[in-house]
Structures are given as C-alpha cells and as structure tokens.
Chain A
Amino acid sequence: MTALLEADALARHYAVRQGGWLGHRVPLRAVDGVSFRLAPARTLALVGESGCGKTTTAKLVLGLIPPSAGAVRFEGAPLPKPNSAAWRAARQKMQMVYQDPLGALDRRVPVLHQVEEPLAIHHGRTSVAAERRDRARAMLEAVGLQPHLAMRYPHELSGGQRQRVVLARALILEPALIVADEPVSALDVSIQAQVLNLFEDLQARFGVAFLFISHDLKVVRQVSHEVAVMYLGRIVEQGSPEALFTDPAHPYTRALVAAIPVVRRHSARTRIVLEGDPPNPIAVPPGCPFHPRCPVAVAACRAEVPALKPLPDGRLVACHLAHGEAAPLRRAA
C-alpha cells in the first residue's frame, strides 16, 4: 500500500542573526531530519513541547515552505512550489486546521458561505451557487452543527461550534489529508472530547488521513493510530499509542508520560523532573539532542547522534540506551 504522505529526512534551517544588526549568523534548526509515512485514512500524531518543530513540520508537509534538505511526497509525487497555481490546485487534496478557529474565519461572512467557499474557489465555474450551498449545508450537518446556525456569524458561535465549521470547510472538498495544528487546545475539556470524537467519525466516514499535532498527550492518545514524539527537530520515538504510553522507551517520552496528571487515590506514579535548559533550536547540543537533560545519559550520548531504529516490538526509538548500545550507569543505591 503506497503511503499517502511520505517525509524523507526533512530538514528546515533558518539563518538567524544573533546579536542584532551586526551579529554573526547561526542556523536555527527547526526541523532536523524527520522521516515518516502516513497511510490513507490513518492518523499520525506529532507530539512535543513548544519549539520542537511540530508546526514547521506541518508547514513543510503541506508545501507552505520549501525544505532546506530532504523531500516530501504526496501520493507519490513531489509537492508543487508554494503559492503557484499547481499548489493552489493541490489544496483540494490537503488542508489545514488551526488552533484558533475565530481567527481563521472571516467575521463578516456567515459560516455557511465560508464552508461553501472552497467549492466556489475550485469549482466556481462548473457549479451553481444553489448546489454549493446545499453541499455546504450537508457538510455542516455531518460535523454536527445544527442547521439553524448556518447563517450565523463566527463570533455568534461557541468555540466548539466554530471548530466544527472550520472542519466542515476543510472537508468539503474531500481532501485525502488534513493537518490539524493543535485543533482542540483552545477548547474546554468537555468540548475537546466531543471534537475528538468528531475527528474519528469523520475519518470513518470520509476516509481522510490526519496529521494531528499537539502538545497534549491525553488528547493524542484517543485519536491516533501512531504517535511520533519530537524533540529539537527530530523524532525520538514513534509507535502505537498504547505501546508509548504504557511502556515508553525513550527517556524523554518517559518524562512526558510521567507528567500526565492522574486522578488516583493512591498515586503510585513517580514524577520525572527534567533538569537543565529548555531546548533551544539555535544551540542544538552535540550527540543526542536530549542528553543535557536526560537523567540516564552516558558518555556515548554526548558523542554520537542516536539513529531512529526499530525495537524488537516494531517501535522506533532514537536512543543508545534503549537499543542496548551503551551500558547504563549504575546508580549508587
């Protein structure tokens, strides 16, 4: 089965001037060698803290920015140049959904017309307005928005309703891929659950693949088929949600999972508190990028960059210790 989306050693660097006008240039490694494959109608989640490169990866995957190295292939073909006519036509197959639905909607246009707009843009000459309106109405129903809200303005709807509108607009062209960048982070927890269920329904109904970006592990656990944890522009662990959450292999993943708040009377969870400086994509440490903060780092971690390799159970991990390539330090009891 050919992958819908393939990222191959994607990298994106920015040259940043440090020290004002006359400072020297240093590379900002936003994305530093990311590879993955996404099959049709599956969900891959990208998880990590701010600055780890998730959003940049999303932009690279959609062809919004060109990569500094590596390649992206969509349905087997490379992506067209950003903002060219071919790129605009390709929008019918891939769409993006953002964190802030209010900002993404035009406050002067009723939501029905905004959902209709992609049809007007791409099929404007081959369709009639009434037809498009009907399709838009059907789409709104599919995302669970009550029909009497169709002619409302965005600021007259709640956050959850707006996100549904945005999803409807993204889906109306029936794209094969939707990249969702923190789509539920701005919503109340109870609404989050509803919208996440919606994602699953839509995937079953329309067969759309999701690249789901989030910093919130709990959210990701529910919707994704596969999870990739990113740190400083690299994927450090990738596998099924269950495997990652019950038995994380990479020390960073372990710290993330341990940090998930849990309501339990007798909490047997030990928190892993990371020390050291927060990740700075301008000053990526040599060797494993995580080693300054890793509680179990050894000399090899400083020297050599760990490759993302499969473990016996199929998971991918980038860690010398996880693969048994280096001996863990014996901690004094």
Chain B
Amino acid sequence: MLRYTLSRLLRAVLTIAAVVTFAFVVLRLSGDPALLIMSVDAPPEAVEAFRKSWGLDQPVWVQYLRYFVQVAHGDFGQSMRDGRPALELVMERVPATLALTLPAFALKLLLGIPAGIYAALHRNRLADRLTMVVSVAGFTVPSFVLALLLVLVFAVNLGWLPSGGAESWRHAILPVITLGLAGAAVLARFTRSAMLEVLGQPYIRAASAKGLTWRRVVTDHALPNAAIPTVTIVGFMVGSLVAGAVVVESVFSWPGVGRLLVVAVANRDLAIVQTILLVIAATMVCANLVVDMLYGWIDPRLRTTRAAEA
C-alpha cells in the first residue's frame, strides 16, 4: 500500500509540474509577457521594472526556475483590470464556486447512482428504459441550453425562481440543478453498465444458488464490486463539474471562479487565467489522488498485490 501511495504522489507532483511548465511555455509563446501581464497603458519604466523583477532578461531556463519559485510563493502577477494580486482575486471567488459545485456533486451522486442501480436491477423493463432515455437527454443537452430552458420555464414563465445573481440561497437552486443533472445522467448510465457487468458474473449466480435472498446478493456482492469502477469515474466527474461551472456561472451571473475565468479570457487578462489554470490543476490533481487512494483501498486485489510485492 505504501508503494502504491508513493507512486501516486509522485505522479501527482509530476502532473502539477507539467501544468506549471505548460503555463510557462504558453505564456512565453504568446508574446512578451511583460506587455501581456501589465496593462496596455503602463508607463515604460514600470514595464522595465516588471521585466527585471520577473527576470525576463535572463536565459530561458533561469526564467523557468524563477517562475517555479514564484508560483511556489503564490505570486502569479497582477490582474490587468484592477491591479490586485491575481491569486487574491481568484481565491476570494472560490467560496462562491464551492457553494455551487459541492451541492451539485452531492446531487449527482444522490440522483445518478441510485438511478443507475435501479435501472440495472430492472433491466429492460419500463423503469430501465425510462431512466436511460432521460439520462441520454442528460448528456446530449448542453449545459447552457439546459440552463436557459430552466430559466425560461421557472424564472420567466412561472416566476418561481430568480434568473440571475447571487443574493439569496434561492438564487442557487437553478444553477445547482443545472450542474447536477447533466452529471447525474452520465453517472446513471455508467453505474448501470457497471452493475450489469457485475450481475453477469458467475459469482453472482453462485451467491444466489447458495440460497441468499436476492436482496442480500445485491447488497453484499453486487454493489461492493460495482463500486470499484464507479469510484474511478468520480474523479472524472470533478473535472466535468469544473468545466460545467464555467458555463453555468456565466449563464446565471454567479460571481464564482468560472465566471471570472470567462471574463479574464475575453479581456486577455493573462495573470488571472494563469492563476485559475494552476489552481484548477492543483484541485484536479488532489481529487485524482484521493480517487486513486480510495480505489487502492477499495479494490482488495490491489491491496494484496501490494502487500505481496512489499
């Protein structure tokens, strides 16, 4: 287990290093960083000072190392628009994004997994067909269309819920539902096929032949085994939540990190973009690490092979 943990940690560190390198390369390729990061009408002395402070007159590999050091210290440059440190700007928006993504994540799990299990257990009957049709709609309808439809129905026509802004908890309902539904659909489909695959295994037949009630067979044998592949998709879901948040926050004018990113891209405020890229990368890497740990712990095959190797 220790070996597994170490190798996963190493991988995580390498991925973050790769993302930092990616940001560095892209930044350098897109033009003179000093002019890009400082605002257009900054006085030439300020630009020169910036150049010096970022060491842009040094050879490339020195710049690369300095960049690493700066990132490690949390210095990502300043926002073009209001001159505040980029990291600060980004971090103060994180709670807003979490307020959407965490409930949406819970919604995905609570809706998607039971739906998938139910569909698998009642295969090819009405419940299954229905769930599958609804879930197909879930991933073919883009999130912005779903968001606008929900706004059209609930905010415009029915007037039950507000359509934008973030004043009250009621403002969060539509965005959370939008974010959660799409992912729930994908999760339902995936859980269903994982369950079906497990149910088709010989050991399930053996378990029910032993005389266990169908219920026990499912809870004791089918579900735990189906959980294993499902855990791997959870990591993927974190990624899609982040991507979804970008669109949903924009549609609902929710002041989170996603919306900030869109605005920053439109204004080419590169310091912010760079910061968000690295923050998200760090989040994804942590999420994947947690998933890997969970996976290594849940799957007994991994546990014992590691023990035998050690």
Contact = CB atoms under 8 A, between A and B. Distances in A.
Q: Do chains A and B touch in the complex (CB under 8 A)?
A: yes
B310 interface: yes
A129 B145 CA distance: 58
A19 B7 CA distance: 15
Interface of B: 3, 7, 309-310
B191 to A, nearest CB: 33
Interface in A1-51: 19-21
Interface in A284-329: none
Nearest to B3: A20
A327 to B, nearest CB: 44
Contacts of B309: 19-20
A19 B3 CA distance: 11
Contacts of A19: 309
Contacts of B310: 20
Contacts of B3: 20-21
A65 to B, nearest CB: 27
B304 to A, nearest CB: 15
Contacts of B7: 21
A21 B310 CA distance: 10
A21 B7 CA distance: 10
Nearest to B7: A21
A25 to B, nearest CB: 16
Contacts of A21: 3, 7
6 contacts: A19-B309, A20-B3, A20-B309, A20-B310, A21-B3, A21-B7
A20 B3 CA distance: 9
B221 to A, nearest CB: 32
A257 B163 CA distance: 86
Nearest to A21: B3
Contacts of A20: 3, 309-310
Nearest to A23: B309
A19 B306 CA distance: 11
A44 B70 CA distance: 70
A137 to B, nearest CB: 44
A19 B308 CA distance: 9
Nearest to A19: B309
A20 B310 CA distance: 7
A59 B3 CA distance: 35
A20 B6 CA distance: 13
A21 B3 CA distance: 9
B305 to A, nearest CB: 11
A19 to B, nearest CB: 7
A19 B310 CA distance: 7
A93 B75 CA distance: 68
B47 to A, nearest CB: 49
